[in-house]
Amino acid sequence: MSQIIEDEHLQTLLEEAEQHHNDEVAARSPDAQPSTAAVNYWHMAQTLRRFLSSPHTPE
């Protein structure tokens, strides 16, 4: 069973991932390494951005 996820929902997830990343980065010292959560949110945002920018058609 497959589900179709609307682009608007993916865009919302992208914006939330970016916001979580920014919050994680802001909560740390400027010279500290990024947290694992910040890296994961950044990676998720990049993946969503790549998917949304590529041609895709739900089947």
The per-residue pLDDT string of the chain (59 residues; one tens digit each, 9 = 90 and over) reads 566 778 899 999 999 999 999 999 999 998 898 899 999 999 999 999 999 998 877 55
Residue 29 Cα to chain centre, angstroms = 22
Contact indicator for 43, 8 with CB cutoff of 8 Å: no
pTM score of the predicted model: 0.78
Assigned token pair, 54: 């590529």
Phi-psi region of 12 (alpha: psi -120 to 50; beta: other; left: phi over 0): alpha
pLDDT of residue 43: 96
Residue 34 CA to residue 25 CA, distance in Å, equals 6
Cβ-count burial of 35 within 10 angstroms (0-12 exposed, 13-18 middle, 19+ buried)? middle
